[in-house]
Structure 1
Amino acid sequence: MLVESVVVRPFENSDLPGAAAALVDVHKTDGYPVEGINDPEAWIRSDDTLAAWVAESDGKIVGHVAVMRAHHETAVELWAKQSGDDESHIGVLARLFVVRTARKHATGQQLTEAATAYARARGLRLVLDVMAKDASAIRLYERLGWRKIGETVHHYGDSESIPAVCYVSPTD
């Protein structure tokens, strides 16, 4: 599929099948996510989602991002300790994925900026963790001004784990 242009817009319930198909595609090409691929619709849809967006090209979903409620994730705990913020002022940028054919159109950047604008408007500082193997995602976050706040190990599946890096969003 040749991507001509990408529009980022708020996620709608009717986007779920297309977002799940895009997630399966991304998992095949990049191994992301490391969990949730057996039921991609359930992984995308979470009770902890505050807001989500999709990237669409020619009527097809080519990307997704969500802002989630902060819980006891390592990135949240690191930022709370470093900043003095409590969880009510922290959000988690999560479930960011873009199909390979849409990556040359700043799709990841557009999705990240939509989530960041949402968080700023609500007084939330975003954090995230990204698998250390996902070099292109790390480059995106760093190019957009996200700052590394620590490292962790992401546990998933049947006692599997993978190194991850934690980031906080820029202040402006």
Structure 2
Amino acid sequence: MTEDVLVRRVGASEVAACVEPLADVLIDCVEGGASVGFMRPLPRERAVAFWRKVAEGVVRGERVLLVAEDGAGRILGTVQLILSMPDNQQHRGDIAKMLVHREARRRGVAQRLMAAIEDEARKEGRTVLVLDTVTGSSAERLYERAGWQRVGVVPKYALMPDGEFCATTFFFKHL
């Protein structure tokens, strides 16, 4: 099922080349209704600008960026580990922008990305991870199956891409 999918860490020297295909994944997810910080319609220039900022963070060592690629090298999904934390939280990392293109869903890509980002967090010396997701989403079920602990739910925390309010569930995991 996921044999043809490679999950890898994107290095500082190659991250700029990933901006455009990552923008494609982000736009697809927002168009598909994912509440990931952007409203519909998401202009391409806005998506590209977002990924350029992420790339800058990777270059500065503030973020770990993983991509899942098919056998042809096309990016199917991504996830980030934010390392830039206050002095008293250097043991912690935030998981951000877990995205899988709609064409690649139900193939175990998200599970592979999450397992890999946890491994990267361990390599970076992080022992506590946190994330948030839309309450009731398939992502929420994914995190529960992967052993993440639910902290709580905040009603009306964010908006869906169509402007409707959504509740957000917060999770943590000790590594």
TM above 0.5, yes or no, is: yes
1:147 to 136, 139, 149: 149
Question: In the TM superposition, what is the alpha-carbon distance from 1:6 to its structure 2 partner?
Answer: 1.3
- Give the match for residue 69 of structure 1: 83
Equivalent residue for 1:43, pick from 36, 50, 74 = 50
TM-score normalised according to structure 1 size: 0.76
Aligned-partner Cα distance in 2 for 1:115–1:144:
12
Following the alignment from structure 1 to structure 2, what is the Cα–Cα distance between the partners of residues 95 and 50?
A: 12
Distance in 2 of aligned mates of 1:53 and 1:96: 10
* Identical aligned residues as a percent: 28
Q: Number of matched residues?
A: 155
Quote how far apart the aligned CAs of 1:161 are.
5.4
Name stretches of at least 5 consecutive residues in structure 1 with no aligned partner.
73-85
Q: Deviation at 1:71?
A: 5.6
2:30: which partner in 1? Answer: 27
- The TM-score with structure 2 as length reference comes to 0.75
**1:41 CA displacement:** 2.4
Give the root-mean-square deviation of aligned CA atoms. Answer: 2.8
Q: Tell me, what secondary structure is at the counterpart of 2:94?
A: strand
Structure 1 residue 13: Cα displacement: 2.2
Structure 2 portions without partners, runs of 5+: none
Alpha-carbon offset, residue 104 of structure 1: 2.2
Would you say the 8 A contact 1:145–1:170 is kept in 2? no
Aligned pair partner of 1:103 in 102, 105, 113: 105
Greater shift in the superposed pair: 138-147 or 46-55: 46-55
